[in-house]
Amino acid sequence: MLISFTPINVQVLRLLHTPVVSPSSSTGETPIAPVTSGFEAVLKRLMALTSNVQALLKTIGCMAITGLCVSMPLHAQTVTSTFPVGNDPQFVAFNPVGSQAYVVNYNNGGDGSVSVINTASNTPTGTTIPVGNSPVHVAFSPDGTRAYVVNKGFFDKSVSVIDTASNTVITTITTGIGVLPNAVAVSPDGTKAYVASQNGNNVSVIDTASNTVTGAAIPVGTGPQHVAVSPDGSKAYVANANSDSVSVIDTANNTVTTISVGDLPYHVAFSPDGSKAYVANFGSNTISVIDTASGTVTNTISVGTGPLGVSFSPDGSKAYVVNAGSGTVSLIDTASGTVIRTIPVGIAPTSVAFSPDGSKAYVTNLGNDNVSVISFAPPISEASPIPTLAEWAMILMASLMGLLAFVRMRRQ
């Protein structure tokens, strides 16, 4: 039986979503009331001085001065804003060059569009690019001059090529694209674009110079949902939902090997150094971690319900996983291979992408027709002044008072 998640199961994704805690409290704890007056100004200064003390105070639980407590998160990673886009946003990608992102809007199976986002202000520019029927995916060329949008419509099955300078479609590729194309990935040198076909069970290769499909389609597993090209361009990984596998294409000769993963793999992403590939398994609520050198699964990480997408931070230290069923993002520490935080977002999130500088991530929320912005505080060396001796004394005193208050609370 052929399984299709986008766009056929849009309503299923909405039904899978369950209420989550408010973004103000990702742990479900009651938020601590904010401090006021001059004390708040002192605390803001202290918070700007050192993240190490913040981590200590967070471990202690609260800091007590004159009977007040304050929560001091370390490098907060939360939803800081949202902005509206088109109907049924399916996928988001940042242009690697410049200050724009593209959001693909499926539009309930009709003629779709791409919303152009100003990434400096985190707002739509007002420009909407008409594309083909049922668009579901977009990928930029490495130089940022072109974007390739996959149109999944049964009678369309095409790729729209957009000139990013003018935000207009300059050509539409139809010949050689398989039935129900699902995803596209561009090679690091920009010469090829790989298109996964869900019903064709194959991958078509586009020559980007001529914008034509070259050679025969490459057979892969059944129900391919996503394709990604390794950072060195030597391999393309294809997530096959119906065969619970990843097809590994050797891009030099188009030969294929297979790696077994979890249930209903939907998305695959490479770490920036290419040493790992993360596969989001929609059916088993897990991430399969593949060692790309050996081609074997070395770890399986449990995440939220119905993971649909995964993206690495530019430095490779973190990976974000969007969970369509639970309306959350799982933050994975890639060194330990564990989930270190869960961030509530919107209804039925479908994709996540990091900005090139790593300062933010965008999450498309299919059920809300919007995008959540997750912002990251810069490292302490960039964000904070060097504390004076007097300020260090204040920090030490505050820490000791916090510890004393914690001990007193434990004794009560």
Q: For position 77, what pLDDT does the model report?
A: 75
Q: For position 225, what pLDDT does the model report?
A: 97
Would you say residue 385 lies in a domain?
no
Q: Give the pairing type, strands 202-207 and 212-213.
A: antiparallel
Q: For position 154, what pLDDT does the model report?
A: 78
Q: Are residues 66 and 193 in the same domain?
A: no
Q: Are residues 155 and 260 in the same domain?
A: yes
Q: For position 67, what pLDDT does the model report?
A: 32
Would you say residue 382 lies in a domain?
no
Q: For position 135, what pLDDT does the model report?
A: 96
Would you say residue 30 lies in a domain?
no
Would you say residue 272 lies in a domain?
yes
Q: Are residues 51 and 175 in the same domain?
A: no
Q: Are residues 363 and 406 in the same domain?
A: no
Q: For position 145, what pLDDT does the model report?
A: 97
Instruction: Name the residue range of residue 65's domain.
Output: 38-70+391-411
Would you say residue 223 lies in a domain?
yes
Would you say residue 182 lies in a domain?
yes
Q: Are residues 101 and 55 in the same domain?
A: no
Q: Are residues 296 and 361 in the same domain?
A: yes
Q: What is the pLDDT of residues 280-294, one digit of tens each?
A: 999 999 999 999 999
Q: For position 153, what pLDDT does the model report?
A: 86
Q: Are residues 195 and 56 in the same domain?
A: no
Would you say residue 116 lies in a domain?
yes
Q: For position 395, what pLDDT does the model report?
A: 58
Q: For position 291, what pLDDT does the model report?
A: 98
Q: Are residues 42 and 168 in the same domain?
A: no
Q: Are residues 47 and 179 in the same domain?
A: no
Would you say residue 278 lies in a domain?
yes
Q: Are residues 66 and 133 in the same domain?
A: no
Q: Are residues 152 and 52 in the same domain?
A: no
Q: For position 41, what pLDDT does the model report?
A: 44
Q: Specify the number of domains making up the chain.
A: 2
Pair 286, 265: CB distance under 8 Å: no
Q: Are residues 294 and 204 in the same domain?
A: yes
Report the CATH number that the domain containing residue 346 is assigned in CATH. 2.130.10.10
What stretches in the chain show pLDDT beneath 50? 1-75, 379-385
Q: For position 397, what pLDDT does the model report?
A: 67
